Every structure is written in C-alpha cells, then in structure tokens.
Structure 1
Amino acid sequence: MAGGAADRSAAGRERKARVQAGGAWDSALSAQEFAAVEGAGFEPVGQVLGTAVFHIGYVGNWCSNTWSSSWGSAMSSTARAPFSDLVRAMYAARRQAVGRAVAECRGLGGDGVVGVKLRVGAFPAGGVEFTALGTAVRAVSPVRPARPFTSHLSGQDFARLVHSGWVPTGLAFGISVATRHDDYDTRVQTGRFAGNREVDGYTELITHARRDARAQLARDAASNGGDGVVVDETDVRVREQECGNGYRDHIVEAVFVGTSIARFGRSRRHTGPRPLTIMRLERER
C-alpha cells in the first residue's frame, strides 16, 4: 500500500513538473466543457484517476427472519443488521477511489476535480473494481479552497453552479440495503388468486431503503460542509433469496450519488440540523 501511494505521488509530481515546464496537460473534458470551466475562472491541469479493488466476502446470506423477531424491513444502517458489513465496504471502496484521485489532484497543484465518473465493475482476477476518473482544475485567482473539492458535474454544469454563487464541496454518497422476509400478508397478496392489488410489505421495503439512502446522503453532504446536494445517480436494485420451506427474503439496494454544494461568502455555519436541498441539474447532451 505504501509503495502504491509513493508511486502515485511520484507520478503526480512528474506531471506537475511537465505542466509547469510548458508541457501538454491531458483532461477528460470536451471542448465545450473546457470553455465553460475556463469561463468560470478555472484551468485544467490534468486528468486524474483513483482506483480500488475490493474482495467482497461473506455479506450475510442468512434468512432475515432469523435476525429479528419482527417480519418488517431490516435496514443495513441498524447496528448488527444483515448486510451492514457489505454497506461499510461499499462506502470504503468508493471513498478510497475518490481519495486517490484527490491525491493526484494535489500532486498536480489542482484545487478540485470536475466531471468525476464513478464506475463499479468485476475485476478479472476476482473482486470488484471501483474507479473515479475526472479532470483536476486550478483556480485562476489568489483565493483558493482550503482542500481540493470533488464533483460529478460536467464542465458546463460546474460553470453554471459557480456563476450562480455556489461551489462544490465534495462527492456525497447514500447507500442502504434493506431486507424483508416474506410473511403471511405478502404471501396472500402475491398469491395466485390475489388479483390486482398493492403488496404492502414490498412498498414498505423499497420506501424504507430509499428513505434510508437519502438520510445517509444528507449526512455525507453535511460532513463535506455542504448546504445541499445536486444528485447524479439514484440506483435502486431488487433481488430475492430463498430461505427454505417456500419462504424468501427480498433485498433492496439503494445507492444515491451527488455533489454537496455550499454558497459563496457564507457568514456563519449552522450549528443544528438543517434541511437538505436536493436538486438535479440536467446535463447537456
């Protein structure tokens, strides 16, 4: 691990020296994005990449009815709940990948990373690969942020944000896994003669997973010093697993990704809980 960090640091210093010497920089920006970023008072200094390969081992493949006497939804954010270890690994992997991209940004003398693309995929030798790819930018101004920011926003959306009096403070994540064991009601409501009707347990399950992911996103945004979040991705997946004797668990995985943002010139920090603003900026196609 130490050797890998040293290699990344050395690579960053080499690229920074090349740029300072008048060499070409690389980026993941389109021509329109480059123009927008420059118009907002920033210049690109290089493309940055962070990656982390995680082995996902035992994640709690037990029947959720054996975990709790209640047949309601079990949330991963609850202490010792099913899949809580998996969720912690999902957070850690993303944060390590983003942190390594930020380290490259610092090495290039950048103030932040725009257009971050997060990818999750199978690693050929086993495990799951998490990557964060973006473009490091530097403010053309004597006023510099205290630490590099990260943002999923495209160059055009980043420029709109800055011109509107907002700045990105960092990528924010909200991850939740909820599981619910089949009970008598769900079996009746999904039975052969149930007809067209709402399945209350399934509605509860997916609602709880989304709500919990939003709460996690709010906390992560606040920890980045943000007043709100512009959302990039709201991915919800549903699967089931057999428990035996005809019973099943239904499992919902909700992953919310966005960029926490704060207003320019905030005179004071809020000390108590505050509402979270969640906005979506449509990207230009």
Structure 2
Amino acid sequence: MGWFGRKAAFTSSAEVEERERSWGEALARDSLPDPVLERLADARAGRVPWVATMTPAELLTARSHGVRPVATVTGTCWYQFGRSWTEGHAEGWANALIRIRREAFAAGANAIVDVRMRTIRHRIGSSMDFTLLGTAIRVDGLPPSPDPVVATVPALEFVRLLEMGIVPTGIAIGARFEWLGGGGWGGYGNQWRGGSQVTQWQSSVFAGNQPMTELSQFWESIRRDAHADLRRHAATMGNGVLAHTHFGQIIRQERDKQPPAYLGRHIVIGTVVDTLRNADVPHGIEQVIDMRDGLSPFVDGGGSRHGVYPTEGEGEGPI
C-alpha cells in the first residue's frame, strides 16, 4: 500500500490514560513501565531496527572494534530543589542516571555512549527537568551489565579511549552554592564567611579601577568546593575525570536598607575514567586556547554535545 493510502494512526484518550497509569505505577515501584520494557526487549532481541545517535564514521569505527548499537535510551527526572541548589542538581542528575542505566540494562547493553545532558527550567517552584539521552551499546563477548557504564564521550572517542587502555566508568558531578552577605531565598542557603560591605564599596563609582577582592575570594571558594565534590564523586569510580561541563553564575540580590547579597553557584560534570598510572598515551595531545571574540565554538549550542547549562551571558566557556 502506498504511503498516501495509509490510514493515519491516532492515539485515543484511553491509550493516553493507560500510558499515564503505567508510568505512574512504574515510578511508584521504582521501575520501568511495561511498554518501555517491551520496546527494549524487542531491541535486545533484534526484533526491531536499532536506533543510534552515532555518525556514520563513528558507527564504522565502533563496529570494527566489536561495539554494536542496541537502542537509544533516556533517563528523566523532574526534581524540586527548594532547600538546596547544590543537592537538588546533584540528586536530580543522579536520579536521571539511575533511570537511563535501567533502560540500558533492559536493552541488554554494556554501556551508554554519546550521552547528552539537557535541562529545562520550569516556573513551578524551584524545580528543573534533568534529562539524559544516549546510545546503548553492546560489546562483543561481554554479557549485559546490570550497571552499564555511562559516558558523555561519543562512540568514536569511547573506542579511542579503550585503545589507550583508558576505560570510561561513569559520570561524576560536583556542585556548590553559597551566599555572600546574608541573603537566602526562603531562609535557605549556605552562608559564606564575610559580608558584602567591601564588595559594595569596591563596585561603587567612587572606588575607581581595582580588583574586587572579596567577590574574587568568594567565587574562588565556590569553584574550589565544587571541584572537590567532583573529585570525591569521581574517586568512587576511577582515577581521572574528563570534566567538560562547567557552569557558574553570581546573582545580585538587592535588600532594603542593607548592602546587596550575592548568590554564587557552580557545577562541574564529566566522564570518569580509570587507567594505569604513568601509562603511555599513543595519540598526540595538543593544548588549545580559545581567545576569539564572540561565542566560543566550544560552547556553540549548534555543535556542542556538552551544552547542558546555558552559557550566553551568565555561563563560562573553556580557556
């Protein structure tokens, strides 16, 4: 039958209600709904065509190394973090990671590559949607893993790392937020030592050109603590981390008859790797510094795999 001779397939309200019920029951028992399990079982058995986010070149290289795509998998968590931005973002990503691993295992995979991280901010309280999307892969000769590796590197880089004896083992997250000079929306928030009177004077028109020492120390402390969190998380999975996603911002909060308060927050995310210490690296490594005007190609949303947090105006690009 020709395409235009086909009858359009519409989803009935009863089917929508049944799907919502299935998802609700699955979330309540901390598992996957039956339709998802059926789809992944079909992908595992090869009864349906596989779907992958790989490019043709990546697919060719992966297949030549015994790596085969199974299916695309996702993990989503809409998380409320009204008390702590730090814990909220870390736990939101952690829940999404659990769910994408669950799908990969159901598909009979060993790992998930080319994992892309997406966030959607909502105006429903202090909440955010944390979503992971990647390609579940099966390595020839290995059984399916109940705890598949999750890597943000694409398939081509994944294979190259394995060639060098560097094994991606998971995703690590480091996050930190604090207040300078009081503040704290809703009475919540960590308080950094010191106040904001010095910052207020140094940012006034009468101070002239000078470094803002208090704000610099405040920002350095937040970034240092976020990276310490990242290292602690990474140490449970390997001995290195490809920390490619950095996002930070400082928000100024005006207060009546008081100096303004400053909210600083920073998050860093990367793929953890495990390798032998002092091992040779067969591929050449070049240092890159980007000092161009305008938006860096490293954070260009059109081509970057790692643009999980916004960078225009308030984020940070790599140097």
TM (norm. structure 1) is 0.77
SS, match of residue 153 in structure 1: coil
Please tell me the residue identity of whatever aligns with 2:36.
A
Q: What percentage of aligned pairs have identical amino acids?
A: 23
* Aligned mate of 2:246, from 226, 234, 248: 234
The one-character-per-residue Cα deviations of 1:160-203 (angstroms, maximum 9, x if unpaired) are 11111011111110101122114332222222221111010111
Structure-2 change in CA distance of 1:116 and 1:102 (3 Å): same
Where in structure 1 do 4 or more consecutive aligned residues deviate above 4 Å?
123-126, 143-146, 282-285
Which residue matches 1:114?
Answer: 113
Call closer, same or farther: CA 1:142–1:106 in 2, change over 3 Å.
closer
Q: Is the 8 A contact 1:165 1:264 kept in 2?
A: yes
Deviation at 1:27, TM superposition (A): 1.5
Who is 2:42 aligned against? 17
3-state SS of the aligned residue for 1:147?
coil
Once the two structures are superposed, what CA deviation does each residue of 1:184-234 show, in whole Å capped at 9, x if it has no partner? 3222222222111101011101111110111000011112x2110012201
Give the whole-Å Cα distance in 2 for the aligned partners of 1:152 and 1:163: 17
The Cα offsets for residues 75-99 of structure 1, whole Å up to 9 and x where unpaired, read as xxxxxxxxxx232121111111111
SS in 1 for 2:51: coil
Secondary structure of 1:25 counterpart: coil
The alignment's C-alpha RMSD in Å is 2.8
Q: Which has the larger radius of gyration?
A: 2
Do 2:105 and 2:145's aligned partners in 1 also have CA atoms closer than 8 Å?
Answer: no
Partners of 2:110 and 2:34 in 1: CA distance = 16
Q: Which has the higher contact order (CA 8 A, sep 6+)?
A: 1
Alpha carbons of structure 1 residues 208 and 108: separation in structure 2 relative to 1, 3 Å: same
Correspondence for 2:215 among 199, 202, 206 = 202
Quote the Cα distance in structure 1 between the aligned partners of 2:36 and 2:119.
24
Q: Shift of the alpha carbon at 1:261?
A: 0.5
1:6 positional shift: 4.5
SS in 2 for 1:105: helix
Q: Are 1:104 and 2:103 matched, yes or no?
A: yes
Following superposition, the deviation at residue 154 of structure 1 comes to 1.3
SS in 2 for 1:219: helix
Shift of 1:125: 6.5
Q: Secondary structure at the match of 1:188?
A: helix
Q: Which stretch shifts more, 185-194 or 214-223?
A: 185-194
Structure 1 residue 33 displacement after superposition? 2.3
Structure 2 unaligned spans of 5+: 1-23, 182-194, 278-286, 289-297, 305-319
Question: In the alignment, is the contact (CA less than 8 A) between 1:174 and 1:257 conserved in 2?
Answer: yes
Aligned length: 245
**Please, what TM-score do these two structures have when normalized by structure 2?**
0.69
